[in-house]
Structure 1
Amino acid sequence: MISRRQLMRTVAVGLPAAVLGGTVSRVSPAQAHSGASSITTEGRGEPECAPGSGKLIQWGPANAPEVPAAGLSGVTAFSIGACANLYNLMLKDGKVTIWGNFNLNDRNQQRLVRVPVAATRDVTAIATAGAYSFALRDGGVIVWGGTHDTELALPEATKSGVTAMTGANGGSSYGLFLKDGGVIQWRGFVDVPDEAKEGVVAMSARQHALALREDGRVVTWGPDLPANLAVPAEAQSGVTAISAGNGFSLALKNGAVIAWGDNEYGQLEVPYEAQSDVVAISAGNLASMALTAGGRIVTWAYDFYGQLDIPEEAHCGARAISCGYVCMVLL
């Protein structure tokens, strides 16, 4: 049996700073560590960092599909998929690559594994949403997967001018697209509220959706999940980043993590190390990750899949972080 202490274990290791850009957080190469870190947990110096290499580091479930050879360098973005890490996306040289534990006898998975020709060059962003994947090219959204082509009809407004996107993995599959400061939703069960139709600068989604307004206020919507949808007073101003988890939410304000929603596994019990100087957050399924300005990764809550066991290779040089069933770092 997993003890409460195991559920609440915090891991803190030396890593360079990052700047959050939604569920996946990124940092420019200029902001990353360029030399050996003096931070150590066992009296040993850390290895010299090589930020900007574009290598993906993954940990978590033993049955998670291994990062392919193409993910060992030059990657510029990634997106963790659904279904206990059935699949993931990465972006390299403007081309989308998909990998995972695919059952090619399943027609839905056959459709998902076939990246469309339009997503093999000049792509600038990627996202996953259950059995669907998205790529952004020249401001237009490309979607594939699902059961039938008729499911893939996107709103007309997503064909141009889109600047950001995210997908929901868990409970329901839908996409959110940002255009001219307003959120456009695809396949969602609850309409986008008026407050998220203008002045939005960031989005995140799971069963419920989050939008961050330019005035620092968090807006949320989705199915009848009162714990998620009741945004606390401290997240109604001054917030700089958001991340939707599985039944809970995270926000970043003045360098501190704010958490609300389901707390069955300690998701809301933010450790001391994540209460100041945090620059990046990622809410996962039942565990979360934060990155501090001092180069420290902090993870907390449910460790059943090994999300808290950060590998030594990921201890420095991170440019992006994301934590779901599986956790990933982009160097």
Structure 2
Amino acid sequence: MSAKYFAQFLKSKILDHKKLGLATGLLLTNYYMENCKLDSKKESFIQQMYSWGYGNFGQLGLGNEQTKFVPTEVFSVDGGNVAQLETRKSVSALITKDGKVYTWGKNKYRVLGIISNDTNITLPTQVQELDNVNIVQISCGVTHMMALDSDGKVYSWGNTEHGKLGHSYEVEERKGSKTHYYTNSHLQIGAHPKQVEGLPENTKIVQISCGFQHSVLLSDKGEVFTLGLNKKGALGVETAKLENYQPVQVESLKNQKIVKIGTGLDFTLALNDKGQLFSWGNNNYGQLGNGTDVMSITPQKVQHGALKIQNISCGDYYSAALTQDGRIFTWGYGSDGQLCLKSKEDVYIPSYVNWSKKADQISCGSGHVAVISNGDLYMFGRGREGQLGLGDTISSETTYRTDPKQVVFFQKNQKVIQAKAGGEHTLALVQTAQ
């Protein structure tokens, strides 16, 4: 089955799987799992997506609401058509290389962008209203999502509380001769993806990140914009306003060229082009990495000395960074072992993870972490819901790992190219040589 046909299959079949009944949905899942290899002679590899962990909201994409303790194949497709996996809490998403968006999991507040009476969507389902735009990145929040197109425009949907979607609705605000309206109602559900409003003219966004009640946008000029709830300084701006219903530039970073952003539940990290890291927001567990547990309403430098940071990832209340030479540093909330520091105590500055491997990618979930090294996948942190993929089925201390454990499920001819840690589940994109 070609990648193009796979996308068409999802669009034409999976959208109506609930109407056909769960059993039929499972048959459809089995169909593309069994038949996606029909054209294997045309490609040198097969791309597969696996999921595991807590599945009670359908976030594993397996057509059911079961929990899996080892990686379980969601689909297999000839060649490679998936560009990005993304997940958070109880939702999952992917985008294809031709810019299509698929979501699944808990659809409260219609966070999946899918109009359905079903509480949970258990199979990857296309967000039809984004079909006419070329999406290049997606970010999952707890109750909202954002998508970035190839022109630098941002679309958002889900719960509109605190203005984190950047949509015009109810609150009147005058700007010269124009009047804009912004929502402040948590009852208003923005189920339909709409373009984020209020950015300066000609601003091109290159990265997006969704927290719990706030959103962060990065422009091609290295500018950072935030919107949503400013509780505990999550927006990084000095203002008397508790909420921003449109993007506001983080003024104190104007002299920095920011190249990457990341969000926890109510804090933010920003990395500049010199490998220096800044943080702001809630800091009750030391997740800002500034040596204290005091929140910061404006960006402050993270205490990582002369280390050159290359990549960052945020969990709910903790943070992780990769250096240019593949070393891992973690800080913040540590009670689930997610800091990989042997101890489960909270840590207030970046601390070195003593590991012999070179890390290529890192993804922080609510309480567990996925690390890719040379195509192999390693996990640590909380595992009692099966999110580590190690086969542990007993809720005990043995399911909490304070050192990286390899997911040995995958074969020698399989290379993990992406892994995303969610709330209590994990997604992995695997390339299998033929």
| TM-score normalised by the chain length of structure 1 | 0.71
Tell me whether 1:330 sits opposite 2:429 in the alignment: yes
Tell me whether 1:81 sits opposite 2:122 in the alignment: no
1:14-25 equivalences in 2 (<5 Å):
none
Give the letter for the 1:291 counterpart: I
Kindly provide the CA deviation profile for residues 78-112 of structure 1, in whole angstroms up to 9, marking residues without a partner as x: 21133xx1x22211221112212336xxxx22883
Partners of 1:263 and 1:110 lie apart in 2 by 29
Counterpart position of 1:200: 258
**Residue from 283, 288, 292 that aligns with 1:229:** 288
CA RMSD of aligned residues (A): 3.0
**Residue from 153, 160, 170 that aligns with 1:140:** 153
Structure 1 residues 141 and 297 mapped into 2: Cα distance closer, same or farther (>3 Å)?
Answer: same
Counterpart position of 2:384: 304
Counterpart position of 1:13: none
Structure 1 residues 91 and 199 mapped into 2: Cα distance closer, same or farther (>3 Å)?
Answer: same
Partners of 1:64 and 1:235 lie apart in 2 by 42
Partners of 2:411 and 2:214 lie apart in 1 by 31
Please tell me whether the aligned partners of residues 111 and 157 of structure 2 are also in contact (alpha carbons under 8 angstroms): no
Partners of 1:52 and 1:205 lie apart in 2 by 34
Partners of 2:223 and 2:129 lie apart in 1 by 29
Identity percentage over the alignment? 20
TM-superposed CA distance for 1:130, in Å, is: 2.0
Q: What secondary structure, in the 3-state scheme, does the structure 1 residue paired with 2:110 have?
A: helix
Give the letter for the 2:428 counterpart: V
Bigger Cα Rg: 2
1:1-331 equivalences in 2 (<5 Å):
53-65=46-58, 66-67=60-61, 72-73=76-77, 74-82=81-89, 85=90, 87-92=91-96, 93-102=98-107, 108-109=109-110, 112-114=113-115, 115=127, 117-137=129-149, 138-147=151-160, 150=169, 151=183, 154-157=197-200, 160-168=203-211, 172-179=212-219, 180-189=221-230, 190=233, 191-192=235-236, 194=251, 196-197=253-254, 198-207=256-265, 208-225=267-284, 227-231=286-290, 233-234=303-304, 237-253=307-323, 254-270=325-341, 274=355, 276-293=357-374, 295-309=375-389, 310=407, 312-313=409-410, 316-324=414-422, 325-331=424-430
Between stretches 179-188 and 69-78, larger displacement belongs to 69-78
Give the letter for the 1:278 counterpart: A
Relative contact order, higher structure (CA 8 A, sep 6+): 1
| TM-score normalised by the chain length of structure 2 | 0.56
In the alignment of these two chains, the number of paired residues is 271
Please tell me whether the aligned partners of residues 51 and 319 of structure 1 are also in contact (alpha carbons under 8 angstroms): no
Partners of 1:220 and 1:94 lie apart in 2 by 31
Structure 1 residues 62 and 156 mapped into 2: Cα distance closer, same or farther (>3 Å)?
Answer: closer
Partners of 1:67 and 1:158 lie apart in 2 by 39
Structure 1 residues 110 and 167 mapped into 2: Cα distance closer, same or farther (>3 Å)?
Answer: closer
TM-superposed CA distance for 1:226, in Å, is: 5.5
Give the letter for the 2:276 counterpart: R
TM-superposed CA distance for 1:63, in Å, is: 2.2
Please tell me whether the aligned partners of residues 288 and 300 of structure 1 are also in contact (alpha carbons under 8 angstroms): yes
Give the letter for the 2:277 counterpart: V
Kindly provide the CA deviation profile for residues 104-146 of structure 1, in whole angstroms up to 9, marking residues without a partner as x: xxxx228832436245541111111222121112210011122
Please tell me whether the aligned partners of residues 200 and 214 of structure 1 are also in contact (alpha carbons under 8 angstroms): yes
Give the letter for the 1:296 counterpart: D
Kindly provide the CA deviation profile for residues 262-305 of structure 1, in whole angstroms up to 9, marking residues without a partner as x: 11122223477745411111111111121123x33221121112
Structure 1 residues 234 and 99 mapped into 2: Cα distance closer, same or farther (>3 Å)?
Answer: same
